[in-house]
Structure 1
Amino acid sequence: MTTASDTLLGPRGAHCDLADLLRLRFAARDLTLFAQRPARSLLTGGLRTRMRGRGVDFEEVRLYHPGDDVRSIDWRVTARTQVPHTKVFREERERPVFVVADQRSPMFFGSRTCFKSVLATHLGALIAWAALHQSDRIGGLVFGDTSQRDIRARRSKHAALELLHQLHDYNRELNDPVPADNAVHLSTILEDTRRIAKPGSAVFLLSDFHDFDRRCEQQLFELARHTDVTLMHLYDPLEKQLASNSGLTVSDGEQRLQLPAQDPAFQRAYRSRFEQQLHYLTGRCQRLALPLLSYATNDDIHTLMRERFGARTRQPGRRSAR
């Protein structure tokens, strides 16, 4: 059930407010970004991670990949199969959490409640505060059309505040949905994310993915090999469906274009374009076994985030499912 406080904290308007991002720390208290399985030592974090390294728990033997630690090679399996195999361990430590937030010009659009760029700042803030509550290290990458800012992963409130300030500052610079000719491509951002996100990190990528293509797919594949990636697809309902009883006029301030929005054929073609792009993105995520979450600008993100990441508590007298 949505409370009054959640409504006040929801994203609104064309630009975000830093005070709202700061208040989201209260809404993030009941969020847990990862499955809660107690670690053996609370000094290094309370969650088990998928950090690949020489930990205390043996996990599996798999084929050797370039870049794996040669000290972990399983020589018995390698000799038996004549193919290099390596042992994989699961370490118990805090997990670095990276928020990669798109603040490029195409995100500066919205017809309901807020702009996509504002929705990205609120989701990024919720993730950052949730990670801080879990004693994880927080880092990020906020990028606009022609610049970006890296936030080094640290387990401190200062790291979360730095991320929020960068989200706010980049969001406030947006004033036009038309990108510049030299705007950075998403594939370049994914390549930079590979540079800053160490193996075992959890990466949350927030974007409308309007320019997702094969170059992005390759970079995403490389990123997902050593990190846990969650994609959050952000869109506006007007991008999904154009329903109107009359024609619509679109202008960039200099030129005007009349759209036959009342034409059913035009509406089907408009919707088909959105669905094709989303289908392409969904298919690539399924191929890479990556979670893809889709949020609209008029969604109740607090309820949806609790449904996805809400802390699960056991009911008295009930056994947990196995």
Structure 2
Amino acid sequence: MPRVEPIDLDVSALRRLTADVIELELVEPTGAALPDWMAGSHVDIELGNGMVRQYSLCGTPGDRDSYRIAVLRERDGRGGSQYLHDSVMKGDRVRLVGIRNTFRLAESAARYVFLAGGIGITPILSMIRALRHRDTDWILHYGGRSRELMPFVDELADVGDRVALYPQDETGLLPLPAIVEQAGIDGTALYACGPSAMLDRLRSLADTAGGVDLHLERFVGASPTTAATGFTVTLTRSGRSLHVPADASLLEVLEDHGIDILSSCRSGVCGTCEVDVLAGKPDHHDSILSDTEREEGRVMFPCVSRAATPRLDLDL
């Protein structure tokens, strides 16, 4: 999905969905059509205090009249959610500075199993909206601490038996082993978004089961599992070679040497800083690429990913 020129957006509606979640509807002030988008997309929003944050679009894919985002107040976060909860009102203005899709809905799947934990329902909701009027088999497993804290529960009630709710105070935790078994049927794609612990457990179960077409969306970066080591990168457009020490990220080294590269989340979840790899093998630590894309090694995200070989050649 191409980058967009910055666009000012008005907050046309603000609704409280739960005690900790608000939904904002964003429109172009003159009524002009917004950039097109697909299920799984997220937007980069520049807030009035200068912060840029990523939010999943949870409306109907292709709706160019308005964007809908839902925001969980994160008291231990980086400040974006608290700003939106405490300082933004209907009629205020924010700025769209990017839109991309790193969580694409595979069109080729014969069947879909969706798994959402808490605010992880937001990208999943756009996928359900995309599939509701197709002759496609799908089911959603949606968990949260309590029914009152799970956004969009009332809206999902209209879907009927395709949605299984798991409020923890009523049913206990999501039955991840059973869900992975359900997703093991040939032609099934499993899409999941939610807390890191849930996604890590799901990944482990899927790896053990084998043959699961698993797609994950994380709102925070995955924790590194190996110790960092230094390596060298060659920037093929200029021929420059740079050393990346163990205690610095590739992105930090590029920035320190004046290399102009767009970045935002700095934790491997938004996809803004993607670069092409021409030689060498990346050591991926992002939460974006599929297993196949990791194995191919054609792109990497320098905010978190490093090198599995002594040298990388980058298209920079």
Q: TM class by shorter-chain length?
A: 0.3 to 0.5
TM-score, reference length from structure 1: 0.33
Higher helix share: 1
Higher-RCO chain (CA-CA 8 Å, sequence separation at least 6): 1
Q: Which has the larger radius of gyration?
A: 1
